[in-house]
Every structure is written in structure tokens, then in C-alpha cells.
């Protein structure tokens, strides 16, 4: 790509110290190789191995740090302080998007449909939670991504183990009403929704968990997604409102469900989605003609507007 010089020296931020470090290393390596193939002067930068003060040597940053430290506004704040343009969502939107409860509160306040939930503490009356949400529920750490620490709970006696698993990753844990139906993911590029993908994990997993996301090859990805054209447009418009409501920008992903009555429910937003061979944003972008390399360059181009 002849005009790649306009980007200058690019730090591909990967790795980090979150529970999603391994996935971030894979994503970051894929992005790095794509940028290098496109003629961009890009280098890997792992904040766990190097001081973030060394970022002053770069002209811009492509953030592929998943989870805490990379997706929650921390690295965005560092880059803002150093005056280095970066990909994706800013400090505030990143911090909100990483917090599942804050995201839900904003969606509820914006009149957007999201599954009912309760925050769980050691003092929570679990019988009251069950009376409120019914069974099954899904237990989630509030500040983790990639389905880390999540469990489906179908029986009262399984609550304690699920809460212990989630608490190992986060002091704040939530129970969310289980939505039975079809799961979809909606990716965004340049702030606009891409074609909807239907996710169909194999029958032996309870939900689209960490293993299904990154390690298995038997998850089905439906493009087209099986919705009618009007339903797909409705879901895209709903997710665009949800994406904008939390302050997400540029690129990202929202996961949603359609229940058995046909209603859509927003699950969560992902402001630094995976960019591995299994990942969903590259699949959605490919459906509208983007190669992986072209997608990475298009995401990086968002930093040019920021640096004008």
C-alpha cells in the first residue's frame, strides 16, 4: 500500500496483564502481520514487557489489548496524556463498555432492551434473586470479557460454585436472566453496523463460552444470519443506538439475543473485539468485501481523523 507512510510509526498494543492476555497476543500478532503486509511501519508493543512511557516514540497506536488495562479506558488515558492517536473507543466509552452493569444501566436509561439482572454480593438473598429472575440465570464477573468466569446456573444448589468461579476474576458479580433463543453478534466499522452474524455453538456447550470463542472449530457462524431483512435492519439499528449510547466509537461489537417470542435483548458491548482467525469482526467485514488486511488498515485509518 503506497500511502502507508501517512501512518508513521505504529505501536500495535497487545498482550497486557488481563485474563485475556493469550487471546490478545494472538489478535495482536494477526493485526501486526496484516499491517506489515500493507506496508505500515508497525511494531508489537506489550505493556507488560515495556514501560508505557516508551510509547512516545510512536505516531499512533492500534489497540488490541483485550480486558482490563486495555479495554477499560486505562491505556486510552495513557495515550491521551501522551497525545498519541489510537484506534477505537475513548476513555469514557471504554470504561463504561468494560463494566457490564454500567452498560446495562445506560441502556435501561436509554429505553433499550437488555436482559434483567441483579448484582450479587456475599449478603445477597439468592432466593429473592431466583424469585426475581427465575432459573436458569447466567453468572458473570462484571469487568471481564471473552466469557471469562461465566457459568449457567439451572439449579439453586449450583449458585455457590458459579459465584465462587466469577469472584475469582472480579469482586463484582452479577446474575442475569437467561434468555432462551438465538444469539447474534453485530460488528461495527467506522461507527456503522456490518451484517449480523448468528452464533450457533455446538449442542454440548451451554453458551458461547471462552472455549467456543477461541479453541473449537465446530461453532457455526451464520451469514446471512437467518433473520428477515426487516428484522436484521431492526437489530442493526437497535445495536447502533446501544453502541452510541455507551460512547463507543469506530469499531467494536455488540452481542444480542432474540427470544422465542421474537424480541431482541442486548447482552453486552465489546470495544476491543478479538482479531484472531476465530473472531467475528473479520467475518462480518469479509461479508461486505474487506480482506483481513484491508480491515486492519481501515481501523487504523480512524486514527488519522484524531490526529488532524
Looking at the annotation, which residues are catalytic?
20, 146, 279
Is 46 annotated as belonging to a binding site?
Answer: no
Count of other CB atoms within 10 angstroms of residue 41: 14
Opening angle at CA 241, ends 237 and 247, nearest 5: 145
Bond from prior residue into 224 cis (ω within 30 degrees of 0): yes
Radius of gyration (Cα) for the chain, nearest Å?
Answer: 19
Dist CA 64 CA 101 (whole Å): 23
Dist CA 12 CA 63 (whole Å): 6
All three cell numbers of 155: 439449579
Alpha carbon distances (Å) from 252 to 33, 74, 163, 268, 307? 20, 17, 28, 11, 20
Helix axes 229-245, 100-109, angle to 10 degrees: 110
Is 270 annotated as belonging to a binding site?
Answer: yes
Is 49 annotated as belonging to a binding site?
Answer: no
Q: Are 162 and 153 spatial neighbours (Cβ–Cβ below 8 Å)? A: yes
Helix axes 100-109, 91-98, angle to 10 degrees: 100
Q: Which of 200, 157, 156, 151 is nearest to 176 (CA)?
A: 151
Q: Are 120 and 173 spatial neighbours (Cβ–Cβ below 8 Å)? A: yes
Q: Are 75 and 25 spatial neighbours (Cβ–Cβ below 8 Å)? A: no
Dist CA 289 CA 47 (whole Å): 33
Dist CA 125 CA 132 (whole Å): 11
Dist CA 249 CA 246 (whole Å): 9
Q: Which of 281, 275, 254, 251 is nearest to 265 (CA)?
A: 254
Binding residues for Mg(2+): 255, 268, 270
Amino acid at each position: 500500500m503506497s500511502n502507508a507512510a501517512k501512518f508513521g510509526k505504529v505501536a500495535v498494543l497487545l498482550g497486557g496483564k488481563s485474563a485475556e492476555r493469550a487471546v490478545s497476543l494472538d489478535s495482536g500478532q494477526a493485526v501486526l502481520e496484516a499491517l506489515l503486509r500493507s506496508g505500515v511501519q508497525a511494531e508489537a508493543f506489550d505493556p507488560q514487557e515495556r514501560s508505557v512511557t516508551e510509547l512516545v516514540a510512536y505516531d499512533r497506536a492500534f489497540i488490541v489489548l483485550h480486558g482490563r488495562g486495555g479495554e477499560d479506558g486505562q491505556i486510552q488515558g495513557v495515550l491521551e496524556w501522551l497525545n498519541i492517536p489510537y484506534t477505537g473507543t475513548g476513555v469514557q466509552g471504554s470504561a463504561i463498555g468494560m463494566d457490564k452493569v454500567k452498560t446495562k444501566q445506560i441502556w435501561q436509561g436509554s429505553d433499550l432492551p437488555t436482559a434483567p439482572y441483579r448484582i450479587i454480593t456475599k449478603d445477597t438473598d439468592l432466593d429473592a434473586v431466583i424469585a426475581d429472575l427465575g432459573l436458569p440465570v447466567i453468572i458473570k464477573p462484571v469487568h471481564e470479557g471473552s466469557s471469562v468466569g461465566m457459568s449457567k446456573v439451572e439449579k439453586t444448589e449450583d449458585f455457590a460454585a458459579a459465584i465462587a468461579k466469577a469472584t475469582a476474576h472480579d469482586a463484582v458479580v452479577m446474575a442475569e436472566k437467561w434468555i432462551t433463543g438465538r444469539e447474534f453478534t453485530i460488528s461495527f466499522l467506522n461507527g456503522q453496523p456490518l451484517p449480523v452474524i448468528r452464533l450457533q455453538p455446538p449442542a454440548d456447550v451451554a453458551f458461547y463460552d471462552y472455549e467456543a470463542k477461541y479453541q473449537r472449530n465446530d461453532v457455526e457462524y451464520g451469514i446471512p444470519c437467518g433473520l428477515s431483512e426487516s428484522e436484521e435492519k431492526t437489530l442493526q439499528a437497535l445495536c447502533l443506538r446501544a453502541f452510541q449510547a455507551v460512547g463507543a466509537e469506530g469499531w467494536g461489537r455488540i452481542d444480542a439475543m432474540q427470544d422465542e417470542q421474537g424480541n431482541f435483548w442486548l447482552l453486552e458491548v465489546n470495544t476491543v473485539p478479538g482479531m484472531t482467525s476465530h473472531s467475528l469482526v473479520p467475518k462480518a467485514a469479509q461479508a461486505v468485501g474487506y480482506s483481513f488486511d484491508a480491515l486492519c488498515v481501515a481501523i487504523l485509518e480512524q486514527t488519522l481523523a484524531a490526529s488532524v
